[in-house]
A and B are shown apart, each in its own frame.
Chain A
Amino acid sequence: MSEVVLESLTKAYGDEVAVDGVELTIHDGEILGVVGPSGCGKTTTLRTIAGFETPTQGRVLFDGVDVTHVPPEERHVGLVFQSYALFDTMSVRANVAFGLKMQGVSTAERRKRADELLALLDIADLADRRPTTLSGGQQQRVGLARALAIEPHVLLLDEPMTGLDAKLKTRLRDEIGNLLADLGVTALYVTHDQEEAMAMCDRIAVLDDGTVEQVGTPAEIYRRPANAFVANFVGSSTLLEGVAENGHVDLGFTELPVAAETDGSIRVAARPAAFELGEGQIEADVTNVTYLGDRTQLTATLPDDTTVTLHADGSDSYRVGDSIPLSIDADRVHVLESD
C-alpha cells in the first residue's frame, strides 16, 4: 500500500472547472472519505487518481513517484463502483482472478488467491456462480474482492453502498471498514452520504465546487467546521450572527462565553445538541414538529428570527405554536473562521 498525494490538482473541461487546485494526501493505510454535493468534483478527483482523467494542472504522486501520465492499466489502483461493473461473462472466481491473470500469475496461484479473497469476504460458496445471479450486496463483495486481488497501491471506492438498502448498508459498512483497516489498505472513499463517511473513514475531505473546504477527522469536521458550507453539509447546523468582544460573543438575545480570534462581527455554528430544551432564558416559537420515534425534531424561531433545528426526546407533547424555553451550551458552539 502506498501514500497518495495530489498536488494542486486542476481539471477543466473547456471553461468548466471540475476540480480546482485540490491538495490532498491519503496516508499509507488510511481511509480518506471524500464528501460533497453532486457536481463538487469528487468523482473527477477519483478518476484522476485512477488515471482515467489527465489533470489540466498539478500532479498525482504514489509514494513520491509521479504517475500523472501513467495509463490506468499500469497504476495498480483498485476500483469499486456503485454499479459493481462485474464481468457478467465470467464466473465470480474468474472476476476476482482477472487482475492476477493480467499480471501473468499462474492459473493455480490465481485460483488459490481468488479463493482466499472470496473466503475473506465470506462468499467462498459463490465462486462458481455468475455475477448476474447474485444479490446487490454479494455483487459488491465480489467487486471488492476483485479490486483487492491485485494488491493495489490505493483502493478507490465510488459510492459503493448507494444502491443497497439501509440495513444491509450498515452491516456491510462495518464489515468492510474493519476489513480494510485489518488489511491496512490505503483507500479513497467517495460518497455523498456524510454519515457513511463518518462511520468508515479515518479522515474526511469536504469538497464543494471543485475545491477542498476542509480536511480532518470525522470529529474535527463535525465539531469544528471550518466554514458555513461544512457546518451545513456535515450534519445540520444553525448559523447565528453575532459580535465578538473580549472573549464573549453577543448574539443580541443572549451572550455566550466563547472566545473568537478577532473581535467584531462573526458567525457561530450550533449543532442541534448545543441547544438544551426545557430551561433557560431564550424563548423559541415552535413552527414545525416532526415525530421521528426515538426523538422529535422541532423547527423553531429564535428571538432574532433565526430558524433553528432542535432535537427533543421522543415525547409527542410538542405542538406548533408552543413557546419553549431553551439555553445554549457554549462548549458545543463553534466560531466559524471569517469567510
Chain B
Amino acid sequence: MSVRSSATASVRRVATLAAATARPTTERDRERRRIAIMCLPFFALATVAGFVPLAMLVRISLAEETVWIEGWSLEAWRTLATTAEYRWVAWNTLWFVGLATLVSVALGVAVSHVLEKYELPFERAVVAAVSFPIALPGIIVAYLIIVLLGRQGLVTNAIAVATGQSALDLASATAITGLFLGYVYSLLPRATMVLRGTYAEVNVQAEEAARALGASRWQTFYHVTFPEIRPGIVAAAILTFRSGLAIFGTVLILQSHRVLTLQIHDEISVGSYDPDIAAAIGLVYVAFIVAVTFVGLRFIENEAVEI
C-alpha cells in the first residue's frame, strides 16, 4: 500500500514537472523548458547518430545470423572471452598506447613549461608547430612518418649516406618504432594543448612567495608548481590515452603492430567477415573508454578537460 502510494506520488510529481515544463508559470519552470529546448537538438542527433547505432552493435554482437541479424547467440562473446589472440591484441593495445601516452605527456610538460616560462625567439611559430598536427588525420601522420623513416625517407637516407649502409635496411617507418613515433606525433599536440591551459593558470605569485620564503628551486617546483599542474597532467593523460586508443588510419597504413582498431577492421574485411565479433570488440572498447574517462574524471575537476 505505502509502496504503491509513494509510486503514485512520484508519478504525479514527474507529471507535474512535465506539465510545468510544457506550460510554465514560474521563471524556474520557464528556465527548465529552455534547458530542455536547448539540449534537444544535440540529444536528437546523439540518439540517432550515436545511441541507436550503439544499441545496434549490441544486437549484432548477440545475433546468431549476422547478415540479416536474426536469432540470438552468445557465440561472439564466447569467442572473444576464450580466444588467446584477442587477449594478446588487448595487451598489445594497452602497453603501446600507454607508453605513447607517457612519452607524449612528458614531452608535453616540457613544451608547455618552456612556452610558459621562457622567453623564446619564435614563440608563435613554436605554438603553431605544436598545435598544427591536431588537424592531421592518422593517414597523413603515417605518411609523414614514411617521409622521415621510410625507404625514401629523409632520416633514413641521411643515415645511409653517413654510415654507408643501405637505405632499405635502415627504413623503420613500417617497424614498430615508426608506428610508435606516429602515435607520439598524433598525441603530443593534444597533450600539450591541455597542459598549456594548465600552465597558464599556475599561480606565479605563489611560486614567487615560495621562493621568497626560502624554498629552493626544486622545492618550489615540488611543493607549489607540481601540485598545481597535477590535475592537468592527469587530464592530459586521460585524453591522450583515449585519443591513442582511437588511432586507426596510422596503423592501417603502417600495419606494424596489431592493435584493437586494426583487429576490428580485419574482422569485417572481406575474407574474414565476422561483424558479431567486430561489434563485441567495439563494445568492449567503447565501454573501456567510457570507464577510463569517468574514473579518470573523478580525480580531476571537469573544467580541466579539453579535447
Contacts and interface: CB of A to CB of B under 8 A. Distances in A.
A and B touch in the complex (CB under 8 A): yes
B85 interface: no
B28 interface: yes
Nearest to B26: A54
Interface in B7-32: 25-28, 30
Contacts of A53: 27
A53 B29 CA distance: 11
A225 interface: no
Interface in B119-143: none
Interface in B26-57: 26-28, 30
A52 interface: yes
Contacts of B26: 54, 69
Contacts of B27: 51-54, 71-72
A29 B10 CA distance: 49
A50 to B, nearest CB: 10
A54 B31 CA distance: 11
Interface in A68-119: 69, 71-72
Contact of B25 (A51, A52, A69, A72): A69
A70 to B, nearest CB: 10
Contacts of A51: 27
A51 B25 CA distance: 12
Contacts, number: 12
Contacts of A71: 27, 30
Contacts of B30: 71
Interface string B158-170: 0000000000000
B16 to A, nearest CB: 16
Q: Is the interface of A mostly helix, strand, loop or mixed?
A: loop
Interface in B225-277: none
A71 B28 CA distance: 11
Interface string A38-77: 0000000000000111100000000000000101100000
B202 to A, nearest CB: 27
A52 B31 CA distance: 10
B67 to A, nearest CB: 55
A66 to B, nearest CB: 13
A72 B27 CA distance: 9
Contacts of A69: 25-26
Nearest to A48: B27
Nearest to A51: B27
A72 B30 CA distance: 11
A263 to B, nearest CB: 50
A36 to B, nearest CB: 23
A94 to B, nearest CB: 26
Nearest to B29: A54
Contacts of A72: 27
Contacts of B25: 54, 69
A54 B27 CA distance: 6
A69 B25 CA distance: 6
A326 B112 CA distance: 66
A51 B27 CA distance: 7
Nearest to A50: B27
A53 B27 CA distance: 6
Interface string A238-258: 000000000000000000000
A54 B28 CA distance: 7
A53 B26 CA distance: 8
Nearest to A54: B26
A71 to B, nearest CB: 7
Contacts of A52: 27
Nearest to A55: B26
A72 B28 CA distance: 12
A52 B34 CA distance: 14
A69 B27 CA distance: 8
A69 B28 CA distance: 11
Nearest to B25: A69
B303 to A, nearest CB: 22
A46 to B, nearest CB: 14
Interface in B75-92: none
A136 to B, nearest CB: 25
Nearest to B30: A71
A54 B26 CA distance: 6
B226 to A, nearest CB: 35
Interface in A112-164: none
A209 B26 CA distance: 24
A328 to B, nearest CB: 48
A217 B25 CA distance: 37
A51 B30 CA distance: 12
Nearest to B27: A54
A51 B26 CA distance: 9
B121 to A, nearest CB: 33
Contacts of B28: 54
Residue among B25, B27, B28, B30 facing the most chain A CB atoms (10 A cut-off): B27
Interface string A157-174: 000000000000000000
Max chain A Cβ within 10 angstroms of own Cβ: one of B25, B26, B30: B26
A241 to B, nearest CB: 45
A284 to B, nearest CB: 41
A52 B27 CA distance: 6
Interface in B91-108: none
A54 B20 CA distance: 14
A263 B258 CA distance: 94
B31 to A, nearest CB: 9
8 contacts: A51-B27, A52-B27, A54-B25, A54-B26, A54-B28, A69-B25, A69-B26, A71-B27
Interface of B: 25-28, 30
Given A51-B27, A69-B25, A69-B26, 9 more contacts: A52-B27, A53-B27, A54-B25, A54-B26, A54-B27, A54-B28, A71-B27, A71-B30, A72-B27
Nearest first, the 3 A-B pairs at minimum CB distance are A54-B26, A54-B27, A69-B25
